[in-house]
Structures are given as C-alpha cells and as structure tokens.
Structure 1
Amino acid sequence: MDKTTQTVQEIRLQYTPDEKRITSPSITDTATAYRILKEHFDQDYISIREEFMVLYLDNANRVLGVFKGFKGGITATVVDVRLIMAVALKGLCSGMIIAHNHPSGTLSPSTADKTTTNQISKAAELFNIKLLDHIILSPFDSYYSFADEGIL
C-alpha cells in the first residue's frame, strides 16, 4: 500500500483576538440584547421569513460577534446545532444569546422553538458555555425573552 494514501493532515487552532473587542457592547439586560439583535435582522424580510441568529459573548458578556446562521420560510427555519457550536468553540465564547423572528408577529414560543432552545442549551452545557437567552422578535418592535419568562 502506498504510504501517501495514509497521510493524515494536521489540524491547528489559531485565534487572534480583535483589539476592538474591549469596546464591544456589553449585554446587561434583555432590552440591550434585543436592540443589538434587531440591528442585524434584515428589516426588509423580518415580516416575510424566519431568520435565526446567535450573539456570542465573552465572560464579561461583551459581544464577540453575531452569526446570521439560518434563513427559512414564512413559518419555520432549520437550525443546525452543530454549526452554532462550531462557531462558539472557534470564537472562544463563554455565553450565547439565540434569537429568531416570527413574521406573523405572534410572540409565543412554539413547541419547535422550545425544543431547539433545549437542544442548544444541552450542547452548550457540554462545553461550559451558557445559553443566556432565546429572544423571539416580531416585526412590530416587540420581543419575547425565554429568560425573562423563566423558561431558561
């Protein structure tokens, strides 16, 4: 057997922190998280299709970044927990806030919303990452917070 077919590539992890991170906004309450998230939702589509994104935070709850991971249809979007965790691990985050919109304006979480939250929470817990909240946004400048409602 040829030895070149048995070669395994080395995997290296490299992280270069952004110097601007020190001036990143710090999440101190749900309203602050909502304002930051709302800026990242495409306002042309917030009442048309569901989008799901994640705010990644450091241990001081400063925003490391936003992952605009998933876009769906009128009533749902597919969320891949593995991609959420891959970004969390690569970014060395300590906490996360997940969010999605309900184009209908209804703020009540669906069974699927609760299931997705539970799956992400369990995955994050394995890596000692805190899922701090799941925020549902409406196109009508209102939101629902799982943390504020005691679900998280």
Structure 2
Amino acid sequence: METSKTLQNWNQVIEIQLVYKTKVKASQRPYISCSKSVYQLALQCWNPNTIEFFEEFKILLLNQSNKVLGMYEVSSGGIAGTSVDIRMIFAAAIKANAVSLIIIHNHPSGQVKPSEADMQITRKVKEAGRIMDITLLDHLIITPETYYSFVDEGAL
C-alpha cells in the first residue's frame, strides 16, 4: 500500500526528454555504399595504437539515406574478446534516431575469420533490430590490413 508521503511526491518526478543534436550538416555526413567504405571509415576512427592490442566493438549508426550519424564504442576488452550488451547497442541507435546500423569489431590476432561468438552476436543483433525496426546492414571484422564482411561473404 502506498504511503501518503509517496503519493505527495508523485509530481516531483523528473520529466524525461529525448533530444538529438548534431554539429554535422546532413550534406557533410559520409555516405555508406559498400563494405569497403565502412572499412575505410572504421580505420579512420580506430586507434592505430590499439587495433592490434585489444578487441573493441563499435557500431556505425545510419539514417534513412545511409549517411553516417555517428560511431559508438559499445565495449573494449581483452586480446581474445569483449563483452557486448545488446541493450547498449540499441540504446545508442534509438538515441541517435538511427534506422540502421553496422557492427564493427577488430581481431588483434590479424585473422578475420568469424568465431562462433561473432556469429551469435550477429544473429542476436539482427533479431533485436528486426523487432525494433532498426536494420542490421552488416558486421565487419577488421584488422589494419583487411576485413571480413558478413554480407559480402553471404553470412548475413
């Protein structure tokens, strides 16, 4: 049962506002046309001093015109993996008002072959995105020299 003190304070609840502001004009946003353009953009955003040191997991957020809204680092971890919380992926996508996203992570080993964990996270994000109408366009595994695209390889 509610106490009278709790009921008296109901109107002091903070109002939640959703706001999206950008400093980049729509005409200046990079356009994503293929996995190679994603790879080139990812290399520009990745720290070259850590790409071969530890694994990082990022998402590229896109608008309806496949223009980049931003890149968000979901997690960073150890040599052989990093923990990914799907809720954090979609919290960022919703806040940016993204209609699609691309998963990107590096393999410090230099090998781009996806692990079973890579395939599982791809399936989970794709399914969650389907429910939320946010399309997973691709998943790239990158190294400084090359990349693997799930779409190009028919794995998505």
Aligned-partner Cα distance in 2 for 1:87–1:56: 8
| Partner of residue 108, structure 1 | 113
Amino acid at match of 1:25: P
Aligned-partner Cα distance in 2 for 1:41–1:16: 24
Alignment partner of 1:138 out of 129, 143, 149: 143
Aligned-partner Cα distance in 1 for 2:148–2:23: 31
| Partner of residue 87, structure 2 | 82
TM-score of the superposition, structure 2-length normalised? 0.91
How far is the alpha carbon of 1:18 from its aligned partner? 4.2
Alignment partner of 1:55 out of 48, 55, 60: 60
Unaligned ranges ≥5, structure 2: none
The yes-or-no answer on 1:42 pairing with 2:47 is: yes
Aligned-partner Cα distance in 2 for 1:14–1:42: 29
How far is the alpha carbon of 1:123 from its aligned partner? 1.2
Aligned-partner Cα distance in 1 for 2:24–2:137: 25
Alignment partner of 2:130 out of 111, 125, 134: 125
| Partner of residue 99, structure 2 | 94
TM-score of the superposition, structure 1-length normalised? 0.93
Quote the RMSD (CA, aligned, Å). 1.4
Aligned-partner Cα distance in 2 for 1:137–1:19: 26
Q: What is the number of residues matched between the two proteins?
A: 151
The yes-or-no answer on 1:33 pairing with 2:38 is: yes
How far is the alpha carbon of 1:15 from its aligned partner? 2.6
The yes-or-no answer on 1:151 pairing with 2:155 is: yes
